[in-house]
Amino acid sequence: MCGIIGLFLKSSDLEPKLGSLMTGMLGTMCERGPDSAGFAVYGRGDNGQVKLTLRADSAAFDFDKLGSDLSAAIGAPVSITRHDTHAVVAVPADLEIEARAAIAGQCDDVRIVSVGKRMEIYKEVGRPDAVADRFKLSDMTGSHGVAHTRMATESAVTTNGAHPFSTGRDQCLVHNGSLSNHNSLRRAMSGSGITFETDNDSEVAAGYLTWRMQQGDSLGEALTKSLNDLDGFYTFVVGTENGFGVLRDPIACKPAIMAETEKYVAFGSEYRALAGLPDIENAKVWEPEPGTVYFWER
Amino acid sequence: MKIVDLDVTSLRELNQMLHEQQDDVTTENWRIKNPQGRHAIAVGIDAPLNVEIDGNAGYYCAGMNKGANITINGSTGVGVAENMMSGRVHVKGNASQSAGATGCGGLLVIDGNASARCGISNRGTNIVVKGVVGHMSAFMAQAGTLVVLGDAGEALGDSIYEAKLFVRGAVKSLGADCIEKPLRDTHKEQLGALLKASGLGGEIDISEFKRYGSARQLYNFKIDNLGAYG
């Protein structure tokens, strides 16, 4: 099954409430995916800095030590903001490669979940409302975000198998459905520099879009091409640094409903996810057409 | 009139109260507040009740209806009025996929649009959609009627049996074994009666509709095809 929510704010006045609105939306989708949950939030970004979201196996992990070791290794100051098992590490953008190498070389207990100027990704196994609470999603702010509640089908219930998947800077994807040609696509992209962390089919869809955008496609063009290259059933919601996209396969087995007002565009697997949004009574509410690319940028 | 607020009363309690009307109708008129997209609102009613739902409902709203007159003052999720036996369901907004699926009787009226697979496997429900319907509508429909005032999506009436389809707008494509058929006087009468029952008066020109149905080439076993099953 799985549940997806997404919220893209068209103007800045709701930005302080992004996390609390997403928390309400995510909570309604617990029944669609009780196994694990994750979310991506596009918050403030500083020019010249890149944010690495790290995930440790345990909340007891010593992120402060990692921060000081990392700072020494790359020879530059780093800032660390901790959220339960995750931490956001901001480093100078021109030292990203060195920082990643230093983190990968330091210990096996921590992984890089996402990289981006603005995007942070958090994911854990467990009931979605509990996951949102652990990371204090309700306190987070930003311009847009996506979240996913997973009922696992194609691969194991692990934190790595939780969505969103990110395969490129500030790019993420959540997926409801299952892809049947993910193994051949993974092989086809293996020489392109896209790396995959899991056997998950949805990660391949994320990698595909990253690969297309590396070839110069816009998000909309990449989504359009995926209609020919991805085989299976899917509803995707994707985020980029400034964009938000939605695509359903041509058969449209997987549910999707959207709402748009002057202030936001919202996505839900079910209307329940949208029912608590401000001014929903006056929103344009519609079901996205199958095989049709929708995207917004600001 | 009994008013039930779903922010206060649980869905299960509501449906239980509606089911208790089955043998002895003590409250004929019901109004349901704050549906908030919840699933399975007012399902399994077997009594001549009038039920109004104020807002948007989730999946399977008014499912398995027998005899009730149910109005939704909003839009509905997947499978509204699925498996209806008799009665009337009126959606004032739009309906999601599989509206009126597998019904045996009754009337489903949708003022807005219905998305994919409207009237899938219909076995006798009359469905009137005032807007458009999505792809694969009336898939494997066996009986009943689907009337669409707007357009129909791809593969209308795929693998259809004996359901009758009337579409006023454009049909993107017909599914396997579905063909256009002549609109005879008897069909016009049937169509006129259904439109009237749906609250539409003489403003609709019945001759604008086209009728579609089964070419009857697919649903009987053909001995020539025996080799395909070897």
The per-residue DSSP string of B203-230 comes to TS-GGG-EEEEE-SSSSS--GGGGGGG-
**Please, which pLDDT band fits residue A190 given cuts at 50, 70 and 90?**
confident
Q: In terms of residue numbers, what domain contains A186?
A: 3-43+128-297
ipTM of the predicted assembly exceeds 0.85: yes
pLDDT bin (cut points 50, 70, 90) of residue B57 is: very high
DSSP 8-class letter at A288: P
Among residues A117, A137, A158, the one where a domain terminates is A117
**Does B36 reach chain A within 8 Å, measured CB to CB?**
yes
Amino acid A290: pLDDT: 92
Taking the C-alpha atoms of residue A214 and residue A208, their distance in angstroms, rounded to an integer, is 10
Q: If you average pLDDT over residues A24-45, what whole number do you get?
A: 95
Establish if A135 belongs to a structural domain. Answer: yes
Q: Whole-angstrom Cα distance, residue B120 to residue B142? A: 9
pLDDT of A61 reads: 92
Q: Which of A275, A285, A290 sits opposite B36 (nearest CB)?
A: A275
Burial of residue B186 (CB within 10 Å: 0-12, 13-18, 19+) is: exposed
pLDDT at residue B220 greater than cutoff 80: no
Q: Best-predicted range by mean pLDDT among A67-71, A195-199, B69-73?
A: B69-73
Tell me the pLDDT of chain B averaged across its residues: 96
| CB atoms A255 and B58 under 8 Å | no
Q: What is the pLDDT of residue A43?
A: 96
pLDDT at B230: 60
Question: Known catalytic residues of A?
Answer: 2
Q: Which residues of A touch B77 (CB under 8 A)?
A: 255, 257, 270-271
b (16+ CB within 10 A) / e for A137-176? bbebbbbbbbbbbbebebbeeebbbbbbbbbbbbbbbbbb
Q: Where are the beta strands (DSSP E) in A220-277?
A: 232-239, 243-248, 257-260, 264-268
Please indicate whether, in this complex, the C-beta atoms of A287 and B56 are within 8 angstroms of each other.
no
CA distance A254 to chain B (A): 10
Q: What's chain A's average pLDDT?
A: 93
User: In 3-state terms, what secondary structure has residue A232?
Assistant: strand
Residue A105 pLDDT > 70, yes or no?
Answer: yes
Residue B226 pLDDT: 79
Phi, psi of B18 (to 5 degrees): -70, -40
Between residues A188 and B91, the one the model is more confident about: B91
Specify whether A193 is located in the same domain as A78: no
Asked whether residue A112 falls in the same domain as residue A136, the answer is no
Partner B contacted by A1 (CB < 8 A): no
Query: Hunting for tokens 């066996």 — which residue is that?
Result: B142
Which helix (H) or strand (E) segment is A223 a member of?
helix A219-229
Rg (CA), chain B: 18
B98 at A interface, C-beta within 8 A: no
In a domain, A122, yes or no: no
Q: Does B120 contact A at CB distance below 8 Å?
A: no
In this structure, the answer to whether residues A166 and A50 fall within a common structural domain is no
* Residue at A270 is within a domain: yes
pLDDT value of residue A224:
94
Q: If you measure CA to CA, which chain B residue comes closest to A286?
A: B94
Domain for residue A69, yes or no? yes
Cross-sheet strand order for the sheet of A144-150: A119-125, A36-42, A144-150, A3-9, A264-268, A257-260, A284-286
What CATH number is given to the structural domain containing A85? 3.30.70.3400
**Residue A236 covered by a domain:** yes
Q: Does A61 fall in a domain?
A: yes
Question: Is A68 touching B (CB cutoff 8 A)?
Answer: no
Are A285 and B56 in contact (CB < 8 Å)? yes
Judged by average pLDDT, the poorest of A194-198, A294-298, B59-63 is A194-198
A160: domain CATH number is: 3.60.20.10
**Interval A84-88 mean pLDDT:** 96
Three-state secondary structure string covering A109-150: CEEEEEEECCEEEEEEECCHHHHHHHCCHHHCCCCEEEEEEE
**How many whole angstroms separate alpha carbon A194 and alpha carbon A210?**
8
- Asked if A271 has any chain B CB less than 8 Å from its own CB, the reply is yes
Question: Cα B48 vs. chain centroid, distance in angstroms?
Answer: 19
A110 and A225 inside one domain: no
pLDDT band of A193, cuts 50, 70, 90: confident
Yes or no: say if B85 and B123 are a contact pair by the CB < 8 Å rule.
no
Residues of B in contact with A270 (CB under 8 A): 37, 58-59, 77
Residue A240 falls within a domain, yes or no?
yes
pLDDT above 80: residue A110 = yes
**Residue A123 is assigned to a structural domain of this protein:** no
**In terms of domains, do A91 and A199 share one?**
no
Looking at residue A226, what is its pLDDT?
95
Cβ partners under 8 Å of residue A130, min gap 6: none
Is the confidence at residue B190, as pLDDT, over 90? yes
Q: What is the total count of domains within chain A?
A: 2
Residue A107, pLDDT > 80, answer no
Whether residues A203 and A92 share a domain: the answer is: no
Question: In the CATH scheme, what is the code of domain B2-214?
Answer: 2.160.20.60
Q: Are residues A84 and A164 in the same domain?
A: no
B42: left (phi over 0), alpha (psi -120 to 50) or beta: left
- Cβ-Cβ contacts under 8 Å for B159 (sequence gap 6 or more): B139, B140, B175, B176, B177, B218, B219
Residues A20 and A160 in one domain: yes
Read off the pLDDT band of A199 (50, 70, 90): confident
pLDDT, tens only, B131-182: 999 999 999 999 999 999 999 999 999 999 999 999 999 999 999 999 999 9
Mean local confidence (pLDDT), A230-239: 95
Pairing, β A294-297 against β B2-5 = unpaired
* Shared-domain flag, residues A156 and A209: yes
Q: How many CB pairs under 8 A join A and B?
A: 40
